[in-house]
């Protein structure tokens, strides 16, 4: 572990530059852990891929960032995965984000063109995320790569996503947590800043440390404002751990990355009934679209004929 000092901060800035990344830190004095992430670029890539409306961009960005924060429950650097699923009765419909412990994330919203809802908060107009999401449930699926994935569902307590993740962590993992998510969308629809943090007490933490952390969280500006103003994850760690000596525990580069491919899409067609594949051949081809990244894979007549031949071999 290294203390987060000016030299470490310079090194991180020079290495990551404008790329998305996360910092895991603990204070020297007490048992608290924090994960702080910058996700501006991956949220913008998701917007471009899914052609989302401004409020859908904010919802999807929060879900992607939230899924990354939940990878703190996984073994660092592995293929273990977290799937976050929000099923609300609001106009945006189903919201899904999946992240692995390597920092790769993907996701989608059911209705990317949902109209933008706003509300006034302390005189400032903000997205009404809760109205877009509605009432419903949050499901988290943890896949450790062996056995049956662990699944837990809790009711949505706010629809703002950060509070819902905190509620999940308290009810399903028995971990009281401070969670913040933010996506700042500009007038053109572009993501100008995005990020989040997750701070949790560890076994042996003192009441004094918990109180200090709570006070620090209360006086922090919105996470998207901090990122927009040039604050980096390590700077935000210092704000969370004001009054402590923060130590750097781990780093993680983050990216929007889907595991789909034409081979995966072909495997999907292989399970179609033979008469359906024959119908697609007569139509001259078919396009298969990945929900998670919106990538399309086209299969022409000749390719479908080969798939049908393979399908017949497998059934004989």
Closest CA to 109 of 133, 127, 125: 133
Return the ∠ at Cα 76 (arms to 70 and 80), rounded to 5°: 70
Taking only the tens place, the pLDDT of each residue in 136-158 is 999 999 999 888 999 999 999 99
- Domains with residue ranges and CATH for the chain: 2-256 (3.55.30.10), 262-315 (3.90.1280.10)
Residue 316 pLDDT: 63
Residue 75 pLDDT: 86
Give, in order, the Cα–Cα distances in Å from 234 to each of 58, 180, 229, 231: 23, 15, 14, 8
Residue 1 pLDDT: 80
Taking only the tens place, the pLDDT of each residue in 241-298 is 999 999 999 999 999 999 999 999 998 898 899 889 999 999 999 999 999 999 999 9
Report d(CA 246, CA 25) in Å as an integer.
6
Q: Sorting pLDDT into bands at 50, 70 and 90, what band is 315?
A: confident
The model carries a pTM of 0.94
Residue 117 pLDDT: 87
What 287-294 contacts at long range (C-beta under 8 Å, 24+ apart), as own/partner pairs, is 290/258, 290/260, 290/265, 291/96, 291/108, 292/96, 292/98, 292/106, 292/107, 292/108, 292/258, 292/260, 293/49, 293/106, 293/108, 293/256, 293/258, 293/260, 294/49, 294/50, 294/51, 294/108
Q: Sorting pLDDT into bands at 50, 70 and 90, what band is 210?
A: very high
Taking only the tens place, the pLDDT of each residue in 7-60 is 999 999 999 999 999 999 999 999 999 999 999 999 999 999 999 999 999 999
Look up residue 188 and give its two tokens: 């053109």
What 144-147 contacts at long range (C-beta under 8 Å, 24+ apart), as own/partner pairs, is 144/74, 144/75, 144/80, 145/78, 145/79, 145/80
Are the C-beta atoms of residues 35 and 21 closer than 8 Å to each other? no
């Amino acid at each position: 572990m290294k203390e987060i000092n000016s030299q470490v901060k310079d090194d991180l800035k020079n290495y990551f530059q404008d790329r998305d990344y996360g910092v895991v830190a603990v204070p020297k004095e007490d048992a608290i852990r924090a994960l702080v992430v910058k996700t501006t670029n991956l949220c913008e890539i998701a917007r471009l891929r899914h052609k989302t409306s401004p409020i859908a961009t904010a919802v999807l960005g929060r879900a992607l960032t939230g899924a990354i924060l939940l990878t703190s429950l996984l073994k660092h650097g592995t293929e273990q995965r977290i799937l976050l699923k929000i099923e609300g009765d609001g106009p945006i419909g189903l919201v899904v984000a999946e992240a692995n412990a390597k920092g790769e994330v993907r996701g989608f919203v059911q209705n990317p063109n949902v109209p933008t809802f706003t509300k006034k908060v302390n005189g400032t107009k903000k997205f009404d995320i809760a109205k877009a999401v509605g009432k419903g449930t949050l499901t988290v699926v943890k896949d450790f790569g062996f056995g049956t994935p662990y699944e837990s569902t809790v009711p949505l307590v706010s629809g703002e996503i950060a509070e819902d993740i905190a509620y999940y962590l308290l009810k399903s993992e028995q971990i009281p947590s401070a969670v913040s998510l933010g996506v700042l969308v500009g007038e053109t629809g572009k993501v100008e800043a995005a990020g989040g943090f997750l701070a949790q007490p560890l076994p042996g933490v003192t009441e004094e440390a918990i109180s200090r952390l709570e006070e620090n969280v209360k006086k922090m500006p919105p996470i998207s404002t901090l990122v927009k103003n040039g604050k980096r994850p390590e700077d935000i760690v210092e704000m969370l751990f004001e009054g402590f000596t923060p130590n750097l525990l781990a780093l993680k580069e983050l990216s929007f990355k889907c595991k789909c491919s034409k081979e995966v899409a072909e495997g999907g067609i292989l399970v179609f009934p033979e008469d359906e594949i024959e119908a697609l051949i007569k139509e001259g081809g078919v396009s298969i679209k990945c929900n998670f990244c919106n990538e399309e894979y086209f299969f022409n007549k000749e390719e479908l004929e080969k798939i049908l031949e393979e399908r017949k071999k497998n059934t004989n």
